[in-house]
Amino acid sequence: MHSMTTSIRVRYAETDQMSGVSNERYLEYFEVGRAELIRSLGMSYRDFEAAGFHLPVTEAYLKYIRQVKYDDVIEVVAAVKEPPKARLRIDYEIFRGKEKMTEGYTVHSFIDAKTGRPVRAPQMFLNLLDGKS
C-alpha cells in the first residue's frame, strides 16, 4: 500500500452560498491528492500523459461528513491499497486537524492516448508501485 498526504487551503471560489465548499469541488481535492500520490511514486501524472497514457476517472464516490469552510487548511490522504489490473482504485480521506471531513474513492482505467482504447496497467506504472522505478 502507498499513501500520500497533501495540504490544501480552501479558496473562496470553492465555496457556495451554503457557506462551505461546493460538493463538486471535493473531486478537485481528490485530484490534487492523486497527483501528489503519483508524484511520490517517482513520476508525475504529466509525465505519465507524456508517455502516452491517460488515466480517466470511471467511477467516483464521495461521502460528505463535515462541511469544509473557506480558508480551512485540509489534508488530503490518497492511497492505493491494491495493485491495479485493468482498473486502478484510489481511496481518499480529507481531514481538518483530526476531524475527518470527507472520504471516498475514484476508479480509473488506463487508456492508450493514441488509440483511445483501454489497456492493462502499464508495466512502468506497476514498477513504480513496486518501488522498482
Least Å distance, CB 20 to a copy of itself, is 8
* Contact status: 45 vs a copy of itself (CB under 8 A): yes
At 31, list the grid cell.
Answer: 485530484
CB–CB of 80/1 below 8 Å? yes
* Contact status: 99 vs a copy of itself (CB under 8 A): no
* Contact status: 24 vs a copy of itself (CB under 8 A): yes
Least Å distance, CB 3 to a copy of itself, is 19
Q: Is 114 helix (H, G, I), strand (E, B) or coil?
A: coil
CB–CB of 85/23 below 8 Å? no
CB–CB of 104/59 below 8 Å? no
Binding-site ranges for a copy of itself (CB under 8 A): 9, 11-13, 15-20, 22-25, 27-28, 31-32, 35, 44-46, 54, 56-64, 67, 70-71, 106
